[in-house]
Each structure stands twice: as C-alpha cells, then as structure tokens.
Chains A and B, each alone.
Chain A
Amino acid sequence: MSTPVRVAGLHKSYGGVPAVTGVDLEIHEGEVFALLGPNGAGKTTTVEILEGFRRRDGGEVTVLGQDPQTAGLDWRQRLGIVLQTSQGLDLLTVREVVASTAKVYRHPRDVDEVLEAVGLEEKRDRRTATLSGGQRRRLDVALGIIGRPELLFLDEPTTGFDPQARRDFWGLIAGLAGGGTTIVLTTHYLDEAEQLADRVGIIAGGRMLTIDTPAQLGGRHAQQATVSWREGGVVRTLATAEPTAEVARLADRFGGEVPELVVVRPTLEDTYLSLIAPFAAAETLASATAPDAEPVAEEVAR
C-alpha cells in the first residue's frame, strides 16, 4: 500500500512563536483521515503545508511523492483542495464555474456528472450567489473533485450546515472515499470524524497527540462506562469496567426496574476533550464536561 502523505518531524513557527513542533503523520492510500484539534492547534498550518501554500521550517514532507514546497502544476493536477472559505464567483453560474475549472485539468471528470454527484444538477444554471450554504459547499467539493484527484483535502467542509445537509454531505464524501480517493479532512465536529474517518489524528499545542481509529481513540474502547440511577431521591453514579454486571446487580436490588437507569460510554467527544484538556484553548470547556481528563492525557503524553 502506498502512502500519499508522509510527514516526519514537521516544524513551523510564526515570528518565533512555534505553531507546529514535530508532527509525524502517515496517511494511507484510499483512507479517510480526519485531523481534529482546537483552533490554533496547528491544524491549518499542517494542512496548508501539505497543500503547498506554506513553507515549513523543518522536517520532511512528501505528498504524492513530492515535496509540496517545490512541486509544480503537474503535482496540482493530482490534487483536489476544498478550502475553508467559500466565497466569490457570485456572478457566474454553477456550471460556468465548474466547467472553467475543468479546463485546467488534463483528465477532468464530466462536468454534468460531477454536478449530479454533488446534487447540484438542478442548480447548474443558477448564479452561485443564489446557493444556500450547503449547496455552496457542495459546489466547492465539485471544484475539488472535477480534476479526478488522487488526494482530496477538505477543510472544515460542513461548518454552518443544518443537520440534514450535513447527513447528505457525509453521503457524498463516503461515496468519494468508496471510489478510492484518499481524503484528508479537518473538522470541528466529532460526529463527522466518527462517521467518515478511517483514522483520526488529534493535534493540539502544535503536536500530534494521538492517531487511531475513531473507536479506539485514546483507549476509548477500554474505558469505564458510567452507570447512573435514582435512589433515595438523589441521582447516583458509578464508574465501572463491567456495566452489564452492575446493571444486573441493581436490577436484583430493586427487584425489577431501576429508576432512571442510564449507562453511558465515553463518546468520541468526551475522549477528544479529555485529550486536548491540557492545552489552554479548550481548557474551560473540557474540564466542565470531562472530569477524567487528566489521567487519560497523561497516558497519551507518555
């Protein structure tokens, strides 16, 4: 299996302030890789270095076999980039924008097929200014995939979507991944990463804290579940590695129904928040929602 993205010891500072300090990363062919992290964590810097928009201070970076810093237009032929901002070109129709972008690629997909794939076939002759936020983002994806990229970067693709639009969008991305495109996704939405990503990397304080599948991230699968119920007028909670046995014991004790029984496993969001808790940006939020933050973070730090 080849490795479209290979990063070793990546360093980048802005005016002496380190933004990325020693990131290592390998992204495999055909996988969807999600990069998560709080604002200012080094996520955008890392991705923009991969995209060839920023220069690095140190480390090795290979994207599709080339150094993005020196790679030319032939390299861009094999790349699709959906940027974070999605504005401009208001005066052109959807089809005009996609068709003109198609012209700069050597082996573009068929314009109408792409518009159909992203669900914009009915909007093809409308000005892009008339599109909703979700439709506009699908146009961005159309522009990202029109050149038949081997590697697609998606930077926060669903920010500002309503839930239905997000579901639709996930279907679109899953379809692309199914077609063999390697996808690098940055997002703030944990459910999005869980839905789409084969592997997740969490970056904070300029370092890659962990890389794993969504299910295994931060030892999530092995973590204790929380069982809670009402007894004597108060809600009682218990952390346990054996929630099933605990529930059985409670059922015995209550002789049937346990009042207000809830069993919770840590969500990806809990795990994420506990991982990034030591990094100031999300400290307040994390400590409010993830009481077991510190031990997990220490484990990762080792």
Chain B
Amino acid sequence: MSLAAIAVDRTVLELKMYFRERDSVFFSFLFPVVMLSLFAAVFGDSLDAGGSPISAAQFFLPGMVAGGVMLTSFQTLAMSVAMERDDGTLKRLRSTPMPPVAYFLGKVGLVAASSMAQMALLLLVARFVFDVTMPSSTSAWATFAWVFLLGVSAGTVLGIAYSTLAGSAKSASAVVIGPLLVLQFISGVYFAYGDIPPWMQQVAALFPLKWVAQGMRSVFYPAGMQTQEVAGSWEHPMVALVLALWLAAGLVLCARTFTWFKRGSV
C-alpha cells in the first residue's frame, strides 16, 4: 500500500480509538461545549465586561474555543502517545514495515478531524442554543482560520514532544492535565485575562494558549472591546509570531526527542 493509503488507514484507526474512549470524548471533545453551557446557565445574559453588557456565552466562547484547540491537539496527543509508548504499541509499530511518518500523519489526521468537528459543534451550540452573535466579516473568519490552524498545529507537535516528559501511562494524565488546567486558568480561558495578577499574565504570555485565546477574542468579541485588552489591541502580529515560534520549537523538540521505545527499555 502507498504511504497515503496507510496514513488514511492510521487516521481511521486513531479516530475509532479516540471516539471509543469515553474519557477522551468527554474531557477533550465535549468539554468546551459542556463548559460553555455551564457558564451560560450560571451567568446568563447579564455579564458585565468592563461596562458593556454581554451574554455569558458570548463572553466565554473565545476561551472555550481556545481551550478546545489545546484539548484536542496537545492534551489528546500528549496522553495517547505517552500511553502508546508505555504499553509497547509504538515499539510494535516500529517492528513492522510501516513507514514511521504514517504514524504521525495518523495523529495529524485525528487532530484535524476531531478539532474541526469540535469547533463546528461548539459554534453551532453557541449560535443556536445560546444565541451568540457570530462574526459576519470575511476577515474575522480568516483570522479564526489562521489562529485555529496555528494553534492546532503548535498543540499537535508540542503534544507529541511533551509525551516524552509524561513518562508512564499512569503519570501521563497528571503530568498532562494538571499543567494544562493551570494554563487555562491564567490564559484567559476561564477568567478574563485582564483580571488576573500581572505576573500571572506574564507567565501565561510565554505559552501558546494565551495567544490562541486572544486571537479568538478578536474574532468573537465586538471590535469595541479591543480597548479592554491588556495590550490595548488584539496584537495579531504577536499572536502569529508566538504561535509560529512554538510550532517551530515543537517540531525541533519532536525531531530531537521522539522515541519509539519506553525509557529504560532499549
């Protein structure tokens, strides 16, 4: 079979495994939708964002989109690759004549399909259940597209690279979910980024999630809210730069550190 056919087969296999795992379906695929619904139900229509009234669903949507990007890419891959390395699946694959790149293409296919499906679901629920106003300009959707693409790509390579740190399958969920959860709290996913202490903002600004969230705010918030950003603007060039740097760093880390074998086993 050709590489393309094997990669497609790997993607189908990855999707089957992903959607058969109840934990991953809930905690990465449905989680942003669940959280958005929760916030909308708790805070209703009367949220006050710096003087201008805004519905809770509208307020939290960019954060949920950004969180979803990292859950389906970074969290899914960091955990699944760590687990597959630990249980010997990677070594087994390496023992076959499968071209190694097919494995990564399968992971990319998984993330592409699951993250796009998640976004579609999240936006449909926001629009039709919680009556969130969607952007109407082409430029807003173009921004959505590149922030999403850069965010998912960076999350994908960083997730694969991070899996090496996760060690055993047992420690993987703690090592992956813990830090990502902290990052979500300080990156403007669950709290308004402007409301957290400056030193936390500076820590968050080192990581990609804050920039995805900021980029998504520029898509889903009214243009007038730009002035409430800590920087006073959406900082699109900075969003693109930081995410591109993380993507490049992730690729280098993958190339340098990826191993098919469990630590200590070879």
Is B13 an interface residue, CB under 8 A from the partner?
A: yes
B97 contacts A77, CB within 8 Å? Answer: yes
B87 contacts A101, CB within 8 Å? Answer: no
Q: How far apart are the CA atoms of A88 and B20 in the complex, in Å? A: 14
How many chain B residues touch A (CB < 8 A): the figure is: 26
Q: Which of A48, A91, A104, A106 contacts B98 (CB 8 A)?
A: A104
B16 contacts A83, CB within 8 Å? Answer: no
Is A188 an interface residue, CB under 8 A from the partner?
A: no
Q: How far apart are the CA atoms of A48 and B266 in the complex, in Å? A: 8
B95 contacts A51, CB within 8 Å? Answer: yes
Is B9 an interface residue, CB under 8 A from the partner?
A: yes
Q: How far apart are the CA atoms of A85 and B264 in the complex, in Å? A: 14
- Given contacts A91-B21, A103-B6, A104-B97, whether A96 and B88 have CB atoms under 8 Å apart is no
A83 contacts B91, CB within 8 Å? Answer: yes
B92 contacts A88, CB within 8 Å? Answer: yes
In chain B between 80 and 100, which residues have their CB closer than 8 angstroms to a CB of chain A? 83-84, 87-89, 91-92, 94-99
Chain B residues closer than 8 Å to A53, beta-carbon distance: 91, 94-95, 261, 266
Q: How far apart are the CA atoms of A226 and B77 in the complex, in Å? A: 62
- Given contacts A77-B97, A103-B1, A105-B97, whether A143 and B20 have CB atoms under 8 Å apart is no
Q: How far apart are the CA atoms of A278 and B97 in the complex, in Å? A: 41
How many chain A residues touch B (CB < 8 A): the figure is: 27
Looking at chain A's contact residues, the main secondary structure is: loop
Is B5 an interface residue, CB under 8 A from the partner?
A: yes
> Which single residue of chain B is at the shortest CB-CB distance from A53?
B266
- Given contacts A83-B92, A96-B13, whether A147 and B266 have CB atoms under 8 Å apart is no
Is A280 an interface residue, CB under 8 A from the partner?
A: no
Is B17 an interface residue, CB under 8 A from the partner?
A: yes
B261 contacts A104, CB within 8 Å? Answer: no
Q: Which of B5, B16, B87, B102 contacts A92 (CB 8 A)?
A: B16
Shortest distance between the CB of B76 and any CB in chain A (Å): 14
In chain A between 47 and 94, which residues have their CB closer than 8 angstroms to a CB of chain B? 48, 51, 53-54, 73-74, 76-77, 79, 81, 83, 85-89, 91-92
Q: How far apart are the CA atoms of A87 and B84 in the complex, in Å? A: 9
Q: How far apart are the CA atoms of A87 and B92 in the complex, in Å? A: 10
Q: How far apart are the CA atoms of A85 and B266 in the complex, in Å? A: 13
Which of B83, B87, B92 is the most central at the interface, judged by chain A CB atoms within 10 Å of its CB?
Answer: B92
Shortest distance between the CB of A85 and any CB in chain B (Å): 4
B6 contacts A104, CB within 8 Å? Answer: yes
Chain B residues closer than 8 Å to A89, beta-carbon distance: 17, 89
Chain A residues closer than 8 Å to B88, beta-carbon distance: 83, 85-88
Is A159 an interface residue, CB under 8 A from the partner?
A: no
A74 contacts B97, CB within 8 Å? Answer: yes
Q: How far apart are the CA atoms of A181 and B53 in the complex, in Å? A: 75
Chain B residues closer than 8 Å to A104, beta-carbon distance: 1, 6, 96-99, 102
In chain B between 1 and 56, which residues have their CB closer than 8 angstroms to a CB of chain A? 1, 5-6, 9-10, 13, 16-17, 20-21
Chain B residues closer than 8 Å to A210, beta-carbon distance: none
Is A130 an interface residue, CB under 8 A from the partner?
A: no
A91 contacts B9, CB within 8 Å? Answer: no
Binary contact track A97-114/B, C-beta < 8 Å → 1, others 0: 000110111100000000
Q: A residues engaging B (CB < 8 A)?
A: 48, 51, 53-54, 73-74, 76-77, 79, 81, 83, 85-89, 91-92, 96, 100-101, 103-106, 143, 147
Q: List 23 A-B contacts (CB under 8 A).
A: A53-B94, A54-B266, A73-B99, A76-B96, A77-B97, A81-B95, A83-B88, A85-B91, A87-B87, A88-B88, A91-B20, A91-B21, A100-B10, A100-B13, A101-B96, A103-B5, A103-B6, A103-B9, A104-B1, A104-B6, A104-B97, A104-B99, A147-B96
The 5 closest A-B pairs by CB, nearest first: A88-B87, A88-B89, A87-B87, A76-B97, A81-B95
Q: B residues engaging A (CB < 8 A)?
A: 1, 5-6, 9-10, 13, 16-17, 20-21, 83-84, 87-89, 91-92, 94-99, 102, 261, 266
